[in-house]
Structure 1
Amino acid sequence: MEASRAPGWSHDNDIAPAVLAIGRPSFPQTLIETLRRIAGVGHCMVFTFDDDRSARCLLDIGNIPIGPDLGAAYSGHFHLADPNRDTIFRERASVSPFVLPAFARRMYSARYAKIFFEDADIVDKFATAIWVDRTCFYVNFYRTLDQGRFNSHQVERLKGIAPGLGAAVARHFQAQAPSDHNPFHKLEVLFSTSAPLTRLTCREREVCLRILSGFSSEAISADLGISLQSTFTYRKRAYKKLGIVSQNELFAIALRLLASPHRLN
């Protein structure tokens, strides 16, 4: 007997996979796959704003090769020029997720538009945000030149799922908050914030994180749900980007960054 669904339920709008992945290493990949299925999203980036109004990039995943560079530039100082920033801080007292104004190129300065749209081939953007205590989670969904802009149907779908996904993103990163007693969490923050590790794609980061955590190649494949050959491929690509050839050199990079007094404060 087939299970019944609530009225109005649609598999096309189902965000359950992303919600069920909260707190797990697979969350970023599940999130982007959910976004692609529902609304044809090409790339997703998550930033946070804190009480001191500083910004930090928590997530960069999808089809934009220079995503890590964009995350670093935005966190560095370009967040000050984001036209959504004023709206985000005006909504500080809100307890629910909110959708940011529709994307329009004229909202952005020429320099901002060149770096974040022209150089990255971004042609459209949809954004949502949610304040949790003193931290705002700012979630951005992008379409690139080869995809074209979001159509009206995709925009309506995003409006429907954005609040739920925004809350899921906030919950995931709260669950993954770094702890002095959890080395894996420290390493996750390291890969999200410290060069040269920020050059890696999400999958390359996930593989390297597990190498540093003592996983064998077989265990990495099982944990991520990928083939052994894929694990070898992601490791090879990561090592090439980092300019290394061995696990020992990967450990050396991580230990050097962990020892830096300017990291993970």
Structure 2
Amino acid sequence: MNAWALPLADAQPAWSRALPAVVQAVGAPDFDTRVLQALDEAALGVGSWSVYQVWRDRLPQLHLSGSLGVADTTRDCFAAYRDAGLYRRDSSFDAVRPGHAAVLRMHADEAPSHDHRQAIYLRHGVLERLSVVQRGDDGAVFAVNVYRHAHQGRFGDGELAGFAQLAPVLLAGVQRHLALRQPTPDLRAALKARCAALTERELDVCERLLRGWSFDGIAADLGLSVATAKTYRARAFARLGLHFKSELFAAFLPGGDCPPQG
């Protein structure tokens, strides 16, 4: 028999410390927070991150975002990107060919337009962006972006190299996580069959409760406050004739057991 010891932490490159954490976080409701913390612990000096898609013929979609050590303005930034139509003039991903993936770096001064630079980078103190980007054959962009803020300075050469090494696993982990968290059609159909009056948001909240999500996770995923998510839960329970979460599980899950937490 042969045996090899796992590499000691101090013998590994700093960026590799994020690999186990990214893999372990896949499917967890707090995936966005755990990955951001892992990037920080891997000495990549990330202040915030976002994951979004951009298409040619419809509005872009924000999948994940968060900040560490700075005020979280990631959703405000994305709202400006979407609502002001900045995505239509965003040439920052043009270097990635359809059917390929690449790592890109952009300083605030290199933003694709004056409005883009003012509304996102300067207004929110964002200094620099690193991205691992995959472009589909139809031209759609899937981007995992990490940001440095003004007080952090620019990414150093070692951080750039580390991110480039980590990028394939980060991209795969994010895409796998998003695939796993897709709404479960059967649960949604069962809820709708029980009460056709349930609104889309009420269905969104109940479905995620049935999948074991916390209210913090539900609120972050749907872009709501925790209080608003709980309001949708209360309205849905009233329509369904339920009072407790245990009754929801009993009505819609095999055996009536609460699903395991991620």
Please give the TM-score of this superposition, normalised by the length of structure 2. Answer: 0.65
Residue 205 of structure 1 is aligned with which of 211, 216, 241?
216
Amino acid at match of 1:32: L
Per the alignment, in what secondary structure is the counterpart of residue 60 of structure 1? strand
- Residue by residue over 1:42-94, the C-alpha shift from the partner in whole angstroms, topping out at 9 and shown as x without a partner, is 10101113463641111111134322121222233211222223234xx2222
- Residue by residue over 1:221-250, the C-alpha shift from the partner in whole angstroms, topping out at 9 and shown as x without a partner, is xxxxxxxxxxxxxxxx844xx5xxx94466
Query: Displacement, 1:126?
Result: 0.6
Partners of 2:152 and 2:94 in 1: CA distance: 29
Number of aligned residue pairs: 208
Partners of 1:170 and 1:48 in 2: CA distance: 11
Partners of 1:187 and 1:25 in 2: CA distance: 18
- Residue by residue over 1:186-234, the C-alpha shift from the partner in whole angstroms, topping out at 9 and shown as x without a partner, is 879969xxxxxxxxxxx97327589xxxxxxxxxxxxxxxxxxxxxxxx
1:44, 1:141 within 8 Å by CA — same for their partners in 2? yes
Larger Rg: 2
Per the alignment, in what secondary structure is the counterpart of residue 65 of structure 2? strand
Unaligned runs of 5+ in 2: 192-199, 206-213, 239-262
2:130 corresponds to which residue? 126
- Residue by residue over 1:10-57, the C-alpha shift from the partner in whole angstroms, topping out at 9 and shown as x without a partner, is 364231111122122131111101111220101010111346364111
Query: Following superposition of structure 1 onto structure 2, how do residues 1-265 of structure 1 map, counting pairs within 5 Å?
Result: 3-5=5-7, 9-10=12-13, 12-14=15-17, 15-38=19-42, 39-50=44-55, 52=57, 54-62=59-67, 63-76=70-83, 77-88=85-96, 91-94=97-100, 97-103=101-107, 105-131=109-135, 136-183=141-188, 205-206=216-217, 208=219, 238-239=226-227, 247-248=230-231, 251-252=234-235
Residue identity over aligned pairs, in percent, reads 21
1:49, 1:136 within 8 Å by CA — same for their partners in 2? yes
CA RMSD of aligned residues (A): 3.8
Unaligned runs of 5+ in 1: 192-202, 211-236, 256-265
Partners of 2:166 and 2:74 in 1: CA distance: 23
